[in-house]
Structure 1
Amino acid sequence: MLSSSFPSRSISMPRLWLINQFANTPDLPGHTRQFEVAAGLVRLGWRVGVFASDFNLTQRRYRRLHFPSLSSSERPVGIHWTWLWVSPYRQNNWRRQLNMLSFCLHLLLRLMPAALFGRLTSRAPNVILASSPQLPAAFTCLLIARLSGLPFVLEVRDLWPQVLIDQGGKTPDSPMVRLLGWMERQLYSNAHTVVVLAKGAERYVRERGARRTAWLPNGPDLEMFSPQPLPPDQPSFTVLYAGAHGDANALENVIEAARLLEQRNSPVRFQFIGDGPEKHSLIQLAAGLKTVVFNDPVSKAEIPDRMAQADAILLSLRDVPLFRYGVSPNKLYDAYAIGRPVVTTVAGSINAEVETHRLGVTADPSDPQALADAILRLAETPRPEREAMAVRATQLAHSTYSRQRIIAEYNNLLHEVNA
């Protein structure tokens, strides 16, 4: 990993454009990595402009804009944040593709002129940073960077199009996969640096053309997620899942584990916070279970309190080859920071980390009986041992996954790119 020492600031404040269609401010549900990185870079002397879609991915609705308004701006903590209108969608069909393309069109019309003519007035950015998984948007940003002669950095959150093959049932020869694969190779080979969130993804991107990589994982804001004592011992043991309710999350496996535990009259209770395309069917699947509660999504700012009230935090993903090496789940690292034992069903590096550092319990994906047994084993673990898990988790959050550490690394990298 890059050195964490800060370079001295230049008199002229460098400018950064940070583009991610699904970026959020902390008052909204969904990931806030771009907000936290941008806020940290602002404190370190950067002028940061973030461009994101106003159509919230978690809630599938607009939060700031009302048609015919196509954009709006605000300045949270010194970030120049621009919300862009995109076409709506509810399911992963052609409307989702139109949603992505409308965002790309916005970028072309708004950023291309600013990049080209801004160089004449010193208003263009010094660096363009695009964050996936929206490859067409990242590719659009690459085009803007190349045509305007600006340095380009790519951040890889999810490995598209590989996820469409491993999880979505697409074949490598399908037109969509071939097109996205071509975009992917162009992005990797033409980026100054490819930033990966999952350590296991470095080999993947290098094999597809990346010349220089940096591992800057997801991680908690330690000012927001500080260690909290375990809840007082109660008759019930609460397991919290906070995140997307989609096919990739395999939450039907968790519901079945809850059913098995309820049949055994166990003290385990499940709380689900979030939304997604599978939520309605999951609620139907859990009908009649007294130990399962579904809640609406909440803002990132509310998550620490919700986690603090739980005895354990659950991370669930389907058994997909890509997930064995290519994921960096933010909720897991938030749980580490706040000091909660975790329950994970992510085969590969995630389960291995939890087992190696003794941070909780693991189960194989798609095995509800194994998951039920693991959760019951954790619930029956003496409190001092669970407290020791919490201490080890917070130590790992500070040493490896701290958002403050990642921001320092990003600052060094971007100054290097801008040199």
Structure 2
Amino acid sequence: MTNILMLTLVYGPDTVSTANMMTDIAHGLSDKGHNVTVLTSVPHYNPSKEVLANPVMRSSWRKPFTESIEHGVRVLRVFMPPKRHKIWARAFDYIIFQALTTILAVYKVARPDVVFVTSPPITLGISGVLISWLRGGRFVYDVRELWPDVPVRMGLFRNPLLVKFVYWLEDFVYKKTAGISSIARSFNDTLVERGVPSKKLYFTPNFVDVDFIIPSESKNEFSSVHGLNNKFVVLYAGNVGLTQGLEILLEVAYGFTDNDDIQFVVVGDGAARKSLENALANSTLNNFRMLPFQPIRIVNSMYAASDVCIVPLLRGFSYDTVPSKIYTAMAAGRPVLASAETDSETAMLINESSAGVCVEPESTVALTEAIAFLYENPKRVVHMGDNGRKWIEKYYSRSVVINAYDEMVREIAVY
């Protein structure tokens, strides 16, 4: 039995996709016979009143951490305020989180065999290095986005010295790892180009619980509540962030104002939600609506109510991230319409599986033409959805990917 210490900024019941993924990985490794301890934060991404009613999910400066056993996993949650969108405020929260979790790792956790740290933020890698050095245990770094590529591409890091420093930090963290798991084959290619030995790299992609997300009837609770029955629904569900460029969906929606059958639905929250809401309020669109994150029990119905799931990305960002919503849509039997570079992991996934359409980024015309094509070809839509479901079951189900994590942990722990 391997003692695994997992450090992750988010964890269930937080509603963001990374939290769900980390929870499934921890539970899956526990089911494989490993002794798993998780260091994380209290829920801070739009937690429901029901979640916050549980004392385990609340902490404060007076009570900086809570402890519980969940699915055989020991979970230590430290204080974290609700997610803030200002960069300096989030940076401060990250520093406090890393300080508290490092202290707990030293004084409250048994000596680990493996220290498993997920990113972003890349600064968690420093915690992984420090904990591994102080407590022992081989350091595994789980790469879910290529940092600092994302903030540099967004223009958040502009000072040349700062950019040089964060890339040095990335290189330092990679050198201290015993293994690096990443969600994209293209990420591994990039890391090799940056000097990371290929023998350190493991491919552990995003995955879906195919027993929970299943193809279902489009007429359901979600569609009825939101007036979407008998409509062609273009759904975006997830982080309303700065890398998606969701404003383009407003432009695309204008192209379908004369067709009441086609409706656009954005579900989620994030740094760009307020500006998108303002743009929608100042528009004349009547075929576009925005909804908050939905409870877990509604997620399957939400995807089932859609006809196509859209995943727009700004130019260049498909090289740095692979949205997990793609896998969920495919598992739900719904085609994916993505805007991504042709040599990105996103494009490769969609093209290999024949589960959707991929167009060039930031092109209103290309997205409009693709939606019109899918609307006019319902049999193709069904066929793409079926292809996606089969592909997920074969390569990206929870059981398949948990096996990959299990093999990686066992290999690294006994190295």
Band the TM-score falls in, shorter-chain normalisation: 0.7 to 0.9
Cα distance in 1 between the residues matched to 2:69 and 2:298: 21
Which secondary structure state, in structure 1, belongs to the residue aligned with residue 160 of structure 2?
coil
Amino acid at match of 1:191: T
The correspondence for 2:155, drawn from 168, 178, 197, is 168
Q: Does 1:134 align with 2:121?
A: yes
Q: 1:47 to 1:132 in 2, by over 3 A?
A: same
Superposition pairs of residues 228-307 of structure 1, within 5 angstroms: 228=216, 235-262=230-257, 264-265=258-259, 267-287=261-281, 288-307=284-303
Q: Does 1:194 align with 2:180?
A: yes
Show CA shifts across 1:205-248 (max 9, x none): 22334331001111111121123356599652011111011111
Give the deviation of 1:114 after TM superposition.
4.4
Q: 1:356 to 1:152 in 2, by over 3 A?
A: closer
Q: TM-score, normalised by structure 2?
A: 0.88
Cα distance in 2 between the residues matched to 1:59 and 1:344: 29
Amino acid at match of 1:28: T
Cα distance in 2 between the residues matched to 1:217 and 1:353: 11
Q: Aligned residues: percent identity?
A: 24
Higher relative contact order (CA 8 A, sep 6+): 1
**Structure 1 residue aligned with 2:355:** 359
The correspondence for 1:395, drawn from 362, 384, 390, is 390
Q: Does 1:182 align with 2:177?
A: no
The correspondence for 2:101, drawn from 58, 82, 107, is 107
The correspondence for 2:411, drawn from 405, 410, 416, is 416
**Structure 1 residue aligned with 2:211:** 223
Q: Does 1:20 align with 2:13?
A: no
Superposition pairs of residues 115-126 of structure 1, within 5 angstroms: 123-126=110-113
Tell which deviates more after alignment, 356-365 or 89-98.
356-365
8 Å Cα contact 1:228-1:338 kept in structure 2: yes
Which consecutive residues of structure 2, in runs of 5 or more, have no partner in the other structure? 221-227
Q: CA RMSD in A?
A: 2.4
Give the deviation of 1:66 after TM superposition.
4.4
Show CA shifts across 1:366-390 (max 9, x none): 22222122112111113x3222111
8 Å Cα contact 1:273-1:295 kept in structure 2: yes
Q: 1:228 to 1:87 in 2, by over 3 A?
A: closer
**Structure 2 residue aligned with 1:149:** 136
Q: 1:141 to 1:248 in 2, by over 3 A?
A: same
Cα distance in 1 between the residues matched to 2:48 and 2:214: 30
Give the deviation of 1:394 after TM superposition.
1.0
Give the deviation of 1:140 after TM superposition.
1.2
8 Å Cα contact 1:58-1:274 kept in structure 2: no
Give the deviation of 1:170 after TM superposition.
2.8
**Structure 2 residue aligned with 1:47:** 35
Cα distance in 2 between the residues matched to 1:301 and 1:331: 16
Q: 1:199 to 1:299 in 2, by over 3 A?
A: farther
Give the deviation of 1:23 after TM superposition.
2.7
**Structure 1 residue aligned with 2:25:** 37
Cα distance in 2 between the residues matched to 1:189 and 1:355: 34
Give the deviation of 1:108 after TM superposition.
2.2
The correspondence for 1:324, drawn from 318, 326, 332, is 318
Give the deviation of 1:138 after TM superposition.
2.0
Amino acid at match of 2:151: L
Tell which deviates more after alignment, 229-238 or 391-400.
229-238
Give the deviation of 1:168 after TM superposition.
2.5
The correspondence for 2:58, drawn from 59, 65, 78, is 65
8 Å Cα contact 1:198-1:325 kept in structure 2: no
Which consecutive residues of structure 1, in runs of 5 or more, have no partner in the other structure? 1-12, 116-122
Give the deviation of 1:22 after TM superposition.
2.3
Tell which deviates more after alignment, 301-310 or 345-354.
345-354
Amino acid at match of 2:29: L
Give the deviation of 1:70 after TM superposition.
1.2
